[in-house]
A and B are shown apart, each in its own frame.
Chain A
Amino acid sequence: MRGAATLTVLRDKRLWAAAAMLAALSAVSSLVPWTASYPAAWKLPIDDVITTWLKYIVSHISPVTRALASVVQLPLDLVTALLVKGFAFNIGETHIELPALSWLGLSGLLVWAGYWASGFRLAALQAAGCAYLLLFGQWDGAMLTLASVLVCVPIAVITGLLVGVLAHARPSVNTWLLTPGLDIMQTVPAFAYLIPTLLLFGFGPVAAMIATVIFAMPPMARVTALVLDQAPQEIRELATMIGCSKRQAIWRILLPSARPMLLVGLNQTVMMTLNMVIIASMIGAGGLGFDVLRALRQLDIDRGFVSGTAIVVIAIMLDRLGAAVANRARPDVEQAPGWGQSLILPLGWLLAATLAGVWIEWLAKFPDALRLSTGGVLNATVSWINVNFFDAMEALRIFTLKNLMNPIKFFLADMPWLVLAGLVTLAAYFIAGLRLALLSVLVLGFCLVTGLWDKVMITLYLCLSATVVSALIGIPLAVAAARYDALYRAANVAVELLQTLPSFVYLIPVVMLFRVGDFAALLAIVAFAITPIVKFTMTALRTVPSDLVEAGQSMGCSRFQLDRLIRLPVALPTILLGINQAILFALAMVVITALVGTRDLGQEVYIALTTANPGRGLVAGLCLAFLGILIDRMFRAGASRLQHTTTAGAA
């Protein structure tokens, strides 16, 4: 059978044509120098043009944007004052100072919310989280971060809802404007649009906030459009038959009946907001991200670790709470205890604790005497590891560099651009046809004429290495997890935890152990990108139809044969999608790893950020986004082709 399949492939004339074209291209590139490496002099000044234009626009509309910024500033100031700073203002001659909400009151509120949403266990989790933040002195930083989240989430959710409804109501707008727009918003690294927002809205929290909203809005918009487009046909017919206007159908029938899904989208938005707030705090929003960055720069491992853990803690608290609220909205879930319904109790507690704080000092400010400190233990541990395991770690680093990373790097760097572009385009053509091939030409052409080809190659090299390592570790892990229940549960918990963490957190331990450089970057990217591979593979293997597995068993397959002959082939399309996700995750992470000194597109973006050069940052960001979109489309097309063959085979 397999032999016959290979033969038909070989007989396919298109394959020979493709091989001939590639040979011709490599011949050309060895004869004509500019087809091997693109001359720097031919670079189109797209970045400069963008910068000039942006500066021109900014100089004309900056009064408007700055005014807008001050409007947005207001709620942010209000929430920050409520949570951290307290109010101070003058009415006539009298100076009035109002305290911020008491830590005791706020923790009480969080614990109550946990109890209300899910019950005792979640309440305990919230209490433990608050205790960590308080005891390790991270409360103020966490509240600053939370303040940004609290202001950004409603804005992101409302715009997301409106954009989603628009996408549903105007399909043509959706196809030509919204879908590509949302794609780009999610794939352009957040750093890249921090720069224009900085220009437009000035340096500081507001710019960070607006960038955050842009970053966190797409999932909400997508979920909204999805639930509207995929609402059950009968529900849509019901809306028509009871005589709903279009508006009534959307706002009174379709959206409310999809509330659980929408809340899942909301939770996603919250987590993306947190992720972005952490990144944005580096450009002046303040908060936990800034604390970590400062600690890393000063090589203060203890403080970096404590603040980093605080990010993890707050991410888990928010995620669990959000998931519980979303779950609570499902009508078929038993409702939690009834006395929690009333808001009076927690709000009264909050006010009482805050008021009491005016007279009792330890209520207003958590007493320093109770604080814990890691006391340099972590610093010592890391040095100890570095001293005692240096050889082993170094061996691992060099082994990986030599056997995996460098070959990929040299392959990509040495290959003439013409040949590589031809290869990718032909692959795109074979997978999905002319349109995708055209897209590939455009994307690669863009990378070429902007003079970023070399940096693109470095980026691809890091991504590919990371994806290979992730797949090598992740797939066997997932195969084992799919087989053993205990491991499956553990892996699920781990994956969920890793996915809640803001990407920035991954850098901390890696840098502590491996300093800066490509290998450290690789580890951080792998840690980030391995989760989708494990998750998709595990789920795909577990959801292989049981009749197929039983058919295999009745034929007398061994467990290994079951995996190899039945589960893996059926699960392959889904696994491919997992790998696709991993590459996209890796692309997103590459930008963050620029902080540990890689020389890729991320670095380009980062330099642009520090030199306030929006054109350069945007062009590099767009390169990343286009690459991401191209890879995504190619993988999806490939996976769906595979899907057809496997389901056809199954049926």
Chain B
Amino acid sequence: MKYAPHILAERAVKLSCRDLWKVYGAHTDTFTDAAELKASSEKAGTLAALRDVHLDIRHGEIFVIMGLSGSGKSTLLRCLTRLVEPSFGKIMLDGVDLMTLSPKDLMEVRRHKMAMVFQHFALLPHLSVADNIALPLRIRGDETSQITKVVSELTALVGLAGMSERLPHQLSGGQQQRVGLARALAGNPELLFLDEPFSALDPLIRRELQDELMRLQARLHKTMVFVTHDFNEAVRLGDRIAIMKDGKAVQTGTPEEIVAEPTDSYVASFVAGVDQTRVISCGRIAAPARPFPYDVTVDGRKKIIEIASLVAGAHGPVGVKDASGQVTGEIDAATILRMMSVTAAERSAS
């Protein structure tokens, strides 16, 4: 289940970054002056992994950072957590600039507000499922009785009940990442960082865990920052997506905005591989309504694929309602058919 964009728009910003830069190989690690930084990043021998990134990640959304390898998406995630120290910029979490925190305060923030899920799970091989999940709580010194309670709840929540005494190597990859998810949730963080969490899994298991993540999100409403190189995964999971290229966020928006209006050919090349009828809502492709009543009307926020059979079965065009229930447009079978055939052609070409 996802939140419709118009609801999200009203949500408060949870995590944001401004003027975020990461330059490797420069004469210094951090800069105080943006101009100096910009000059430095253009010198030979330096590598600007992040260039002037601005992002606003809102409360309770799954924000996907999507890009190919080398695009800076992992660096961005690590800068947002300060696992990698940014060269310049601000990272605001709940109005506090993380860059100004002392190591001790940062440690407290990490203990209570953030958690991370790793591509290769990062489970400790010598600890059982239960002990792995309990680890963050033990590190921050929670009470034993409390830990036991949380751990048993979480093992059940991620579908590992009865496996709590197993060791990681006795689990399948999908089960291991379930442990990784449970461990990230253990400290009841507000913010989850997921670094290509499903890339190391088989396609079927990947899908299963994507569903699992959406199920969890429907219950827990965490703010998630999700890194992936798979555009389909981004579209499937993301409330909003930022597309990274050469250290820049080239486009940020809802999946539909990106699919319908890619800003450049780079983004368009990803979009080509996506079944647009699943992403684009019918309101977006509707023709202006004509002034006569429609027998059948549909909700304009529905995806094309959802209304396709209805339109195909109708006699003549179908009316399309906007968010307020007003019929503002119409759509006919030919439009939908054209949309589907374009998508199919692009997908077979890509």
A and B are interacting partners: yes
**A contacts, CB < 8 Å to B:** 232, 234-235, 237-238, 240-245, 248, 252-253, 256-257, 259, 329, 331-332
Are B119 and A234 interface neighbours, CB within 8 A?
yes
- Roughly how many angstroms separate A257 CA and B135 CA in the complex, as a whole number? 13
Are B116 and A238 interface neighbours, CB within 8 A?
yes
Are A241 and B114 interface neighbours, CB within 8 A?
yes
Q: Please report whether the interface of chain A is mostly helix, strand, loop or mixed according to DSSP.
A: helix
Are B126 and A242 interface neighbours, CB within 8 A?
no
Could you mark each residue 112-125 of chain B with 1 if its beta carbon is under 8 Å from any beta carbon of chain A, else 0?
10111011111011
Partner of B83, one of A237, A243, A253, A332: A237
Are A331 and B136 interface neighbours, CB within 8 A?
no
Q: Which residues of A contact B116 (CB under 8 A)?
A: 237-238, 241
- B60 sits at the interface (CB 8 A): no
Q: Which of B5-22 contact A (CB under 8 A)?
A: none
Are B110 and A259 interface neighbours, CB within 8 A?
no
With A237-B116, A329-B126 already in contact, 15 other A-B pairs whose C-beta atoms are closer than 8 Å: A232-B122, A234-B118, A234-B119, A235-B122, A237-B122, A241-B81, A242-B136, A242-B139, A242-B187, A252-B138, A253-B135, A331-B167, A331-B169, A332-B167, A332-B169
B69 → A minimal CB distance (Å): 16
The 8 A-B residue pairs with the shortest CB-CB distance in the complex, in nearest-first order: A243-B111, A234-B122, A242-B136, A243-B110, A241-B116, A332-B169, A238-B122, A234-B118
- B107 sits at the interface (CB 8 A): yes
B186 → A minimal CB distance (Å): 9
Could you mark each residue 76-97 of chain B with 1 if its beta carbon is under 8 Å from any beta carbon of chain A, else 0?
0010010100000000000000
- Roughly how many angstroms separate A253 CA and B138 CA in the complex, as a whole number? 11
B61 → A minimal CB distance (Å): 21
Partner of A243, one of B108, B124, B169: B108
Are B126 and A256 interface neighbours, CB within 8 A?
yes
Q: Which residues of A contact B112 (CB under 8 A)?
A: 243
Q: Which residues of A contact B83 (CB under 8 A)?
A: 237, 240-241
> How many cross-chain pairs have Cβ atoms below 8 Å apart between A and B?
66
- Roughly how many angstroms separate A244 CA and B124 CA in the complex, as a whole number? 14
- Chain B interface size, under 10 / 10 to 19 / 20 to 34 / 35 or more: 20 to 34
Could you mark each residue 275-300 of chain B with 1 if its beta carbon is under 8 Å from any beta carbon of chain A, else 0?
00000000000000000000000000
Partner of B140, one of A237, A243, A256, A329: A243
- B317 sits at the interface (CB 8 A): no
- Roughly how many angstroms separate A81 CA and B233 CA in the complex, as a whole number? 69
B259 → A minimal CB distance (Å): 32
What are 18 A-B residue pairs whose CB atoms fall within 8 Å in the complex?
A232-B122, A234-B122, A237-B116, A237-B122, A238-B116, A241-B81, A241-B83, A241-B114, A241-B116, A242-B139, A243-B107, A243-B108, A243-B140, A248-B139, A252-B138, A253-B135, A257-B124, A257-B125
- B319 sits at the interface (CB 8 A): no
B85 → A minimal CB distance (Å): 12
Are B115 and A234 interface neighbours, CB within 8 A?
no
- Roughly how many angstroms separate A243 CA and B107 CA in the complex, as a whole number? 5
Are B115 and A256 interface neighbours, CB within 8 A?
no
- Roughly how many angstroms separate A259 CA and B81 CA in the complex, as a whole number? 29
Q: Which residues of B contact A245 (CB under 8 A)?
A: 107
Q: Considering residues B111, B112, B118, B122, which has the most beta carbons from chain A within 10 angstroms of its beta carbon?
A: B122
Q: Which residues of B contact A248 (CB under 8 A)?
A: 139
- Roughly how many angstroms separate A503 CA and B72 CA in the complex, as a whole number? 54
- Roughly how many angstroms separate A235 CA and B119 CA in the complex, as a whole number? 11
Q: Which residues of B contact A259 (CB under 8 A)?
A: 126
B77 → A minimal CB distance (Å): 10
Are A243 and B139 interface neighbours, CB within 8 A?
yes
- B168 sits at the interface (CB 8 A): yes
Are B124 and A253 interface neighbours, CB within 8 A?
yes
Are A241 and B110 interface neighbours, CB within 8 A?
yes
Residue of A nearest to B104 (CB): A245
Q: Which residues of A contact B167 (CB under 8 A)?
A: 331-332
Q: Which residues of B contact A252 (CB under 8 A)?
A: 138-139
Q: Which residues of A contact B139 (CB under 8 A)?
A: 242-244, 248, 252
Residue of A nearest to B108 (CB): A243
Are B125 and A238 interface neighbours, CB within 8 A?
no
Residue of A nearest to B78 (CB): A237
Q: Which residues of A contact B126 (CB under 8 A)?
A: 256-257, 259, 329, 331
